[in-house]
Amino acid sequence: MTRVQLRYGLARPLDETLRDRLAALHGVYGFLRLEPEGAGLVVEYDATRLSERDVEAQLRGAGIPIQLSA
């Protein structure tokens, strides 16, 4: 297993619905940790199972308002 940690900014705070969607992502194979932190989100995943692109697609698909760094 290769653990990778990413930090994303959030375009807006997570409401109850978005927190529920984030919690549901824990069931996606390869996610190890999804934790709101301040105005951002910390994601830890297994890079042998997911790529950064996969992680971002899962988050966006769940409606999580992530902001990517330039």
Spatial separation of the C-alpha atoms in residues 28 and 32, rounded to whole Å = 9
CATH code for the domain in which residue 9 is found: 3.30.1360.40
Domain, as residue range, for 54: 3-67
Spatial separation of the C-alpha atoms in residues 11 and 58, rounded to whole Å = 16
* Per-residue model confidence as pLDDT tens digits over 8-56: 999 999 999 999 999 999 999 999 999 999 899 999 999 999 999 999 9
Tokens of 45: 């995943």
Place of tokens 């910390």: 42
Q: Specify the number of domains making up the chain.
A: 1
Q: What is the pTM of this model?
A: 0.92
Identify the DSSP state of 20. H
Predicted local confidence at residue 38, as pLDDT: 85
Predicted local confidence at residue 69, as pLDDT: 65
Cβ within 8 Å of residue 41, ≥6 positions away: 7, 8, 9, 10, 22, 34, 35, 59, 64, 66
